[in-house]
Amino acid sequence: MNEIYLDNATTTRVDQRALEEMKHYFTEEFAAPTGHFGHQASLDAKEKLEEARAIIAGSINAEPEEIVFTSGGTEANNLAIQGLIRSKKGKRHVVTTAIEHESVLNTFRALEKAGQVELTLVGVDKDGFVKVDELSSTLRSDTALCSVHLVNHEVGTVQPVAEIGRICEEKGVPFHVDAVHGWGYVPFNVGQMYVSLASLTAHKIHGPKGVGAMFRRKGLKLGSLMYGGYNEFELRPGMENLPGIVGMAKAISMIKPEHTARVGELRSKMWNSIDSSIPWVHLNGSADNGAPHILNVTFDYIEGESILLHLDMEGVAAATGSACFSKALEASYVLLAMGRPHEQAHGSMRFSFSRFNTTEEIDKSIKILKRVVTDLRKLSPLTPEED
């Protein structure tokens, strides 16, 4: 394991307090939380399940019965999008942005390929903000769904979700928000933001992997993706992951404003140090309206993959582009959509922070990063002479 972990937008360390809470439901209260069994063990488990549901619902100003537990954000996105389309007859029009997470983009593309939807992709500006006027003009009388994420997974731009939600509400279009990378870090109120559907996950906020949730506004009809029992309002059959759900509720309940503020300070410290000590760098995203835990920087004349490998050898974990996308040696589709040239899109690095990171780790990471960038640029024939 790396000495310094700056890849918290991919996944986070489970908080020890969440882990301790979960242990009890692996070995002590392990009964099925739903079922027709009627014994006390099952009733006790059901009570804990509903307590966790209420905590998670309260974190986004939803009602408990509007929360459906899933295996994570990807399943929640699929259930929201495919479930809504399955509830409609005929081919429907859908709208999303060019920089959504792959679990949203690839779901829409699969539906488009199957002839079930007509897909419109909306562009973004140079900082990654959705072009709201363009989005508004694409909404039609037959638009079945508009989907925009809360925070971009790669550059951290916080989208104007409330404004987009109000437009969708006025035009009668259901609005889905992939809130996976923003939940717990930026304000998210499904009522005030006119949200119809939303996706959440535990492992981005120091909860366990393999558990997430979908918000579905009361009265909105969805079709099932899987078939089985009647669990989770007949939308998600299968045994509920009670230990994971308990850990998810504990994780969101432990996030405090001071944690978010401190993470934001680490992000600012990292960027200010890079900007002041390393030449030919560019911030990708918004300096003022970015999520507090995500920093994306382009280092001209060298590739992000090379930086990543050298940082790893020095004990620092970071990422190039989004977590899923970095496995392909291609330019970031997010940065290309933001208008970055191919060379800059190849040279980007994402650093993401948590409340478990320290200022000492940031100081050490900057020293290592400066040395790595300097050494790599010496090997690059593209590097100009410094003034």
HSE at residue 46, side-chain half, CA atoms within 13 A, is 12
Residue 119 neighbours by CB distance under 10 Å: 15
Question: Which strand (E) or helix (H) includes residue 23?
Answer: helix 16-27
Distance (Å, whole) CA 292 – CA 268: 8
Distance (Å, whole) CA 319 – CA 354: 15
* Residue 258, helix vs strand vs coil: helix
Q: Provide the b/e sequence for 247-270 (b: ≥16 CB within 10 Å).
A: bbbbbbbbbeeebbebbbebbebb
DSSP code of 52?
H
Distance (Å, whole) CA 64 – CA 116: 31
Closest CA to 68 of 190, 189, 222: 222
DSSP string, 91-118: -EEEEEETT--HHHHHHHHHHHHTTSEE
Active site residue 168: no
Tell the burial category of 316 from Cβ atoms under 10 Å away from its Cβ (0-12, 13-18, 19+). Answer: buried
HSE at residue 281, side-chain half, CA atoms within 13 A, is 22
- Cβ atoms of residues 157 and 127 within 8 Å: yes
Distance (Å, whole) CA 246 – CA 211: 10
Catalytic residue among 324, 336, 337, 368: 324
Active site amino acids: 324
